[in-house]
Chains A and B, each alone.
Chain A
Amino acid sequence: MRSLATLAFVAVFVSGCSCSKDERSSPAAAEILPSAGGGSVPEPLIAQTASALRLTPEQIANQIEDTLEFRLGWTDETTGVFQNLITRLFAVPLGGVDFISASKRDASTKVQTLLIARGLSWHVAAGVVFRDANVEDDTPDPIVFKLCDVGRDRPVLAAERVRGGSELASLEESEARWTAQLEDLYWRLYARAPTPSEVADVKAVFLETLETEKWPGKAWVVVLYALLSSAEYWNL
Chain B
Amino acid sequence: MGSCPLRTSLKRGVLEPVINRRAIVRRALQTGAALPLLPLLLRLVDARSGTALAATNGSAPVGRFLNIFLRGGWDSHLAVDPVIGTRTSSTAFQSVYATLPSATVSGKANLKLGSGLIPASSAFANMPTTFINGIFTEVTAHELATNYMFSGVLSLSRSREFPAVAALLGQAAGTFPAHVVIGSTIPLGTTKESAPPLQSQSSGTLADMLQGPYSSDLNPASIDAGHRLLAKLDERFLASLNTNGKADMASWINSGSQIEGLYKAEHGKVMALTDAVKARYNFTEDWGVEGTMAGGFLALKAGLSPFVTLGIEGFDTHSNHLAPHRSLLERVATALNVLVNDLRNTPDPGNPSVSLADTTTILITSEFVRTPKFNAGNGTDHWPSASAIVMGRGVRDNQIIGATGNDAMPLGWSNGATAPLNSSNRLLPEHLVAAVLRHLGFASVGDSISTGGIDELFT
Contacts and interface: CB of A to CB of B under 8 A. Distances in A.
Given A3-B14, A9-B6, A227 B233 contact: yes
A130 interface: yes
A122 interface: yes
A89 B229 contact: no
A230 B234 contact: yes
Interface stretch (A47-55, A157-165, A168-176): A47-55
A140 B222 CA distance: 30
Contacts of A121: 213
Interface string A199-236: 00110010011001100001101110111011110110
B249 to A, nearest CB: 5
B96 interface: no
Interface in A80-111: 83, 87-91, 107-111
A32 interface: no
A167 interface: no
Contacts of B36: 134
A9 B10 contact: yes
A127 interface: yes
A98 to B, nearest CB: 18
Interface string B222-256: 11011111101110111111101100110110111
Contacts of B360: none
A3 B9 CA distance: 11
Please name the 8 residue pairs, one residue from A and one from B, whose CB atoms are nearest each other, closest first: A3-B13, A91-B201, A1-B15, A108-B251, A134-B37, A46-B240, A222-B226, A122-B213
Interface of A: 1-10, 12-14, 17-20, 44-54, 76, 83, 87-91, 107-116, 118-119, 121-123, 126-127, 130-131, 133-134, 136, 138, 195, 197-198, 201-202, 205, 208-209, 212-213, 218-219, 221-223, 225-227, 229-232, 234-235
20 contacts: A7-B24, A8-B21, A8-B27, A19-B1, A44-B240, A47-B240, A48-B241, A54-B252, A91-B202, A107-B193, A111-B255, A111-B262, A119-B213, A205-B226, A208-B222, A222-B223, A225-B226, A226-B230, A231-B256, A234-B252
Given A88-B19, A91-B201, A231-B238, 15 more contacts: A1-B13, A4-B19, A14-B10, A46-B241, A110-B255, A111-B177, A119-B212, A126-B44, A134-B36, A136-B35, A138-B5, A195-B236, A209-B226, A213-B218, A225-B213
